[in-house]
Copies of this chain bind each other. A is one copy, B any other.
Amino acid sequence: MLSSYSTADKVLLALDCIIFGFDQHQLKILLIQRDFEPEKGKWSLIGGFLKRTETLDDAAKRILNHLSGLDDIYLEQLYTFSEVDRDPGERTLSTAYYALINSEDHKLLEDGDYTAKWFDIKEAPNLIFDHNEMVQKAILRLRRRAVSKPIGFELLPEKFTMLQLQKLYEAILDVELDKRNFINKVNALDILVKLDEKDMTSSRKGSYLYQFDKEKYDQKIEEGFTFKI
């Protein structure tokens, strides 16, 4: 027998964001140290509660916008966590989202409620509630997505070198890649524009900068192309 609306229980629905960044070496996540109860002083994901008048995507955007001032952040819903006692306060479910931001370009906003800090995904502190589990799930999802969708570029500055792109994929996939094979593969995709501009910070010779060509990518997708790294 299906429950009717009237007899069904209402619950609090929270939303937690795993915010990924990349610092040219390691994949990072942004965590906050809570200045409020419960679990004051502990590290956690950035989160908030869903409002009656917004979708989960809206709520995720709102929370990220509040943190960063940005509203063009890559976001994807991950999973809804529902253990009965996951939050010791009240019966609360939480839908986790993950976000990809270019941590170089984007300064984070200050907020009296918390201090935010980037952590290497391999060196993150223990988190409250089920947030560790959320992070693990997000890493796995990011790994699967990054090889089948061109979302990695969200973590890089608009212009990047091939080596940066390679290091990014190495960090996401937690593997070492061969330079020539990687470049050959990326070039074969034919979705990057090689600029006339060089990044001179890393060597005397300088290395060419590239840009993701979204229009070209979209067109190729229409023609049946599949992205695969």
Q: Is A113 a contact partner of B2 (Cβ separation < 8 A)?
A: yes
A50-82 vs B, CB cutoff 8 Å, 1 = contact: the mask equals 111111110000000010000000000101101
Would A50 and B11 be within 8 Å (CB), given that A2-B113, A80-B56 are in contact?
yes
A150 to B74, CA, bound (A): 31
CB proximity of A173 to chain B, nearest CB, Å: 14
Partner of A50, one of B9, B12, B52: B9
- Give this chain's copy count: 2
Collect the chain B residues with CB atoms within 8 Å of residue A80's CB.
56, 77, 80, 95
A188 in contact (CB, < 8 A)? no
Ranked nearest first, the 5 interchain pairs of A and B with the lowest CB-CB distance are A8-B49, A10-B10, A56-B82, A9-B52, A3-B49
A-B contact pairs, 5 of them (CB 8 A): A2-B48, A3-B49, A9-B52, A11-B11, A54-B84
